[in-house]
Amino acid sequence: MIDINLIRTQPDLVRENMRKKFQDNKLDLVDEVIELDRLNREAIQRADYLRSQRNALSKQIGGLLAKGEKEEAGRIRQQVKDMQDELQALTVKEDEYASEIKERMMRIPQIIDPSVPIGRNDQENVEVQRFGEPVVPDFEVPYHMDIMEKLNGIDLDAARKTSGNGFYYLKGDIARLHSAILSYARDFMIDRGFVYYVPPFLIRSEVVTGVMSFAEMENMMYKIEGEDLYLIGTSEHSMIGKFIDTILDESELPQALTSYSPCFRKEVGAHGIEERGVYRVHQFEKQEMIVVCKPEDSMMWYDRLWQNAVDFFRTLDIPVRTLECCSGDLADLKVKSCDVEGWSPRQQKYFEVGSCSNLGDAQARRLAIRYRDQDNRKFFPHTLNNTVVAPPRMLIVYLENNLNADGTVRIPEALRPYMGGKAQIG
């Protein structure tokens, strides 16, 4: 949610930002907010005036009664009552205006960073840099499900019976590999100075609407029936939510955190959940990194976060690239974002294995997260997040890039301590 002062003072900037994001259908929101804000401020000014007049008149009543001027006291008493009635009506109007303003402000996109490329959708995202040489082996790389099944490491049929499409049983060495990667990711981030967390996996609606847009919420979140609780789609939701209604001291920033959680997603609008595969699923596990920092430091942290993910994948011998998200592909709360994509030797192309985002002060404004400087001034911090690793999708690029011709799978040296010292599985 952007600062309403920006709409008051630079409405054309807000409109131009909408056009850059190809959201011309939202342009009317700016004029609506300006008009509602005008009416709200008029109501507040009128209410303040009435209160001052009411208080002044109320003081006169006692004196008039003491002088025996009951008729005049009664007249003023009626004036005070009329003012009180009008005040009550104005209070209702103020609440209505504030609610309508907030509803519209929540739909107005964050001002994107000037460096973001302009484009309509993910087809116009821009490759930034490649890390590692993408290799296509001289033997055929099977589909990832075939690799897993040959290693007796997955059972989709049983999961389909218990839960439906988009779920899976991992077992044996594949299940162990899955857990090993998450444990390695945890220690990788701890070694880089991040504080490790295991957060709540359910959050209240006020946190959900604080960390994401309504469209994302509808497409992603599972709601617990009969309760004000949602299953998290990523631990970023819980981790940013932990600061709700908090005033941090400047000395407490930055907060660099890394968190493990299962994640649950409806995947509404996806091109169908695969009958046979783990690329797009309803349930997965993830190691995340989250930063809360001063605004002037957020772009430095943004570069550090995506670099952490790149470094992690390279230790597992997986070539990756970074892809800058264009304006039309940015969620409304994001200032800047890039995807980290892993190389698929079978498909001979890259696909997304993580996403790094700078959300500016959008989440902080929605959740009333602030920090206090040495002069006791309060500011909204910036929040950022990035995926360290999210198996089982990540297992696809891992297996393809570490597959041997005989069907065994290499275990890179960094991962071996988490696999009981094994150099390969198969």
Look at residue 293 in the predicted model and tell me its pLDDT. Answer: 98
Q: Lowest-confidence range among 28-32, 275-279, 283-287, 422-426? A: 275-279
Interatomic CA distance for residues 339 and 258, integer angstroms:
18
Q: Residue 44 — pLDDT band, cuts 50, 70, 90?
A: very high
How would you write 146-170 as a 3-class SS string? HHHHHCCCEEHHHHHHHCCCCCCEE
Residues 43-61 have a mean pLDDT of 86
How would you write 10-69 as a 3-class SS string? CHHHHHHHHHHCCCHHHCHHHHHHHHHHHHHHHHHHHHHHHHHHHHHHHHHHHHHHHCCC
Burial class of residue 229, CB neighbours in 10 A (0-12, 13-18, 19+): middle
3-class state of residue 83 by DSSP: helix
In 38-60, which positions are buried (b, 16+ CB within 10 angstroms) versus exposed (e)?
Answer: ebbeebbeebeebeeebeeeeeb
Look at residue 375 in the predicted model and tell me its pLDDT. Answer: 95
Q: Residue 57 — pLDDT band, cuts 50, 70, 90?
A: confident
Look at residue 54 in the predicted model and tell me its pLDDT. Answer: 83
| 260-297 confidence digits (pLDDT tens) | 999 999 975 555 555 678 988 999 999 999 999 999 99
| 148-206 confidence digits (pLDDT tens) | 999 999 999 999 999 998 899 999 999 999 999 999 999 999 999 999 999 999 999 99
Which sign does the torsion angle of CA 280, 286, 356, 347 carry?
negative
Which CATH architecture is the domain 4-105 placed in? Answer: Orthogonal Bundle (1.10)
Look at residue 271 in the predicted model and tell me its pLDDT. Answer: 52
Q: Lowest-confidence range among 70-74, 162-166, 251-255? A: 70-74
Look at residue 342 in the predicted model and tell me its pLDDT. Answer: 97
Look at residue 203 in the predicted model and tell me its pLDDT. Answer: 96
Look at residue 38 in the predicted model and tell me its pLDDT. Answer: 96
Look at residue 267 in the predicted model and tell me its pLDDT. Answer: 77
Please give the distance of CA 398 from its chain centroid, rounded to a whole number. Answer: 26
| 201-237 confidence digits (pLDDT tens) | 999 999 999 998 877 777 889 999 999 999 999 999 9
* Percent of residues, the chain, with pLDDT higher than 90: 84
Which CATH architecture is the domain 122-425 placed in? Answer: 2-Layer Sandwich (3.30)
Phi, psi dihedrals of residue 116, rounded to the nearest 5°:
-70, 125
* Token code pair at residue 71: 């008729």
Domain locations along the chain = 4-105, 122-425
Q: Which residues contact 58 (CB under 8 A, 6 or more apart)?
A: 80
* Percent of residues, the chain, with pLDDT higher than 70: 98
Share the mean pLDDT of the chain: 93
Report which DSSP code applies to 331: -
| 320-350 confidence digits (pLDDT tens) | 999 999 999 999 999 999 999 999 999 999 9
